[in-house]
Amino acid sequence: MFKYFEHLIFGMMMNTPPISIEALLVLDAIEHRGSYAAAAEQLNKVPSALSYIVNKLEEQLNVTLFQRQGRRAVLTPAGKHLLSEGRKVLNAINNLSEQTQTIANGWEPRIRIACDSIIDVTNVFAALQQFLIEHKSIEIDVKEEVMSGTWEALIEDNVDLVIGAPAPVPAQKGIRAVKITDIQNVLVVHPTHPLAKEQKPIKPSELGQYTTVIVHDSAKQSIPWSANLIEGSQRFYVSSVKQKITAILSGIGIGYLPVNLIAEHIKAKKLHVVELIEPRPIQDLYLAWKITNKGKGLKKLTQLLIDNNLQT
């Protein structure tokens, strides 16, 4: 779409194209209102002015755009195609105008967000929907990252905001981090797994004989974290927490998972929580952004997430 718009603008720079914005608006009005007279009233012009614009366009393109059906002016197949594509151009111009005004007023046109794979994004998307009701012109781009990859996305300026980034907060200056929740990771297995039959708390040294399901850290530049690794175990790697849950539900291996994400599976006895002598500590999760980012949209969104007491 924007390639088409770019080509049109380039053509306008080289020579005057037959298809003008005014002509597209005239075609749109005639098609919408059904007659030249009604369209002229909508555009605050006289019908003869509209006829001149359409006739000139038909002459330059060597096509017929409208045909008469009784009192109505009906688009020909060529006219329908021109208007269909032309409306895309009109929408692009309207969006460009809105974005230009938005930027001039300090509102960024786009907010890039990284959600850590460890969180349930249901409440996040609910907050984003609430935000977009008031700020429809701001584009939202959400992607998923894992562990240190979430922080790296912010540090490398690949995103403007991270949600659910796990502790610890990086030592880099200029990052504002606000704790939004915490999670308790528990070791879970399929109900048929040998560990599900154990009656006593398990020592960490006893876990090495079992396959462990591990989520790849998405970091590309920094050193990946190795959270919740079980020393000596055979490893089965996946790319997200959702995949990890599915793998453990399938009986592939064991692994640590946040209680809040698997509560229903535990209740339904599809997953079994293994009692450990040394339970995993509670892990803090953060909402974070760079202090240098002064966009009004980011400020409004972060405050909305904080005020809503976002729980993941």
Contact 191, 270 (CB under 8 A): yes
| Rounded Cα distance, 58 and 75, in Å | 12
| Rounded Cα distance, 39 and 22, in Å | 13
| Rounded Cα distance, 309 and 123, in Å | 10
| Helix, coil or strand: residue 75 | strand
pLDDT digits (tens, 9 = 90+) for 184-216: 999 999 999 999 999 899 998 899 899 999 999
Domains 2-104 and 185-281 share a fold: no
pLDDT digits (tens, 9 = 90+) for 224-283: 665 666 766 799 999 999 999 999 999 999 999 999 999 999 999 999 999 999 888 899
* Fold classification of 110-182+284-307 (topology level): D-Maltodextrin-Binding Protein; domain 2 (3.40.190)
Residue with tokens 């053509």: 11
| Rounded Cα distance, 257 and 186, in Å | 6
pLDDT digits (tens, 9 = 90+) for 54-76: 999 999 999 999 998 888 889 99
The whole-number pLDDT of residue 12 equals 47
Specify the CATH class of 2-104 in words: mainly alpha
Q: Domains of the chain: which residue ranges?
A: 2-104, 110-182+284-307, 185-281
% residues pLDDT > 90 (the chain): 70
| Helix, coil or strand: residue 186 | strand
Average pLDDT over residues 98-108: 78
The whole-number pLDDT of residue 232 equals 66
* 185-281: in CATH 3.40.190.290: yes
CA angle 69, 74, 80 (to 5 degrees): 150
- Its pTM stands at 0.69
Q: Which of 269, 261, 264, 258 is nearest to 196 (CA)?
A: 269
